[in-house]
A and B are shown apart, each in its own frame.
Chain A
């Protein structure tokens, strides 16, 4: 079974608008961390935001926020006031447990911001 599911292969958003990128996850471990990374065409994975399973509040980092719905096992990324430079692939990833476990990534969503 897929641990991380990103159902939107591609998304379009108008510049200055907000956009939500979906991510659902599957784990039976009560302790886990959820990450979002941005990958421009250059290839580098840029860390955006982190949410721990025990965090009481949704994570925010500048224009990025994470809509964490634990019961639904979803961790959607919200980008506010989209900019042309936000056009990239976006990956959701999970690390299970408190110990050292690897990141498991979804297949990504390609976001295109239109002027």
Chain B
């Protein structure tokens, strides 16, 4: 398996622009997670989906952030409008949930977002 795939790997944009981050989870995994990592705040869970349904979005910073999972193989995290304080590395992770995986999460390589 190719693992969790994220695109783009790097994104540089200007304040006020819309940014869309993409994630393809591992085939067969039923849960997907979006994390943000910064030097100041460390690793933060933004939102997670189970069977394509958002379960907990309490980590989403504000209404400028939205996430969707239209099907089991694709998810997006959108920031509109973007601000410099959104600059961070965004990780997507997936897991098979219950069963023999014991909830081990597999992480993608991340998208490094810079908002100027």
Are A and B a genuine interacting pair, yes or no? no
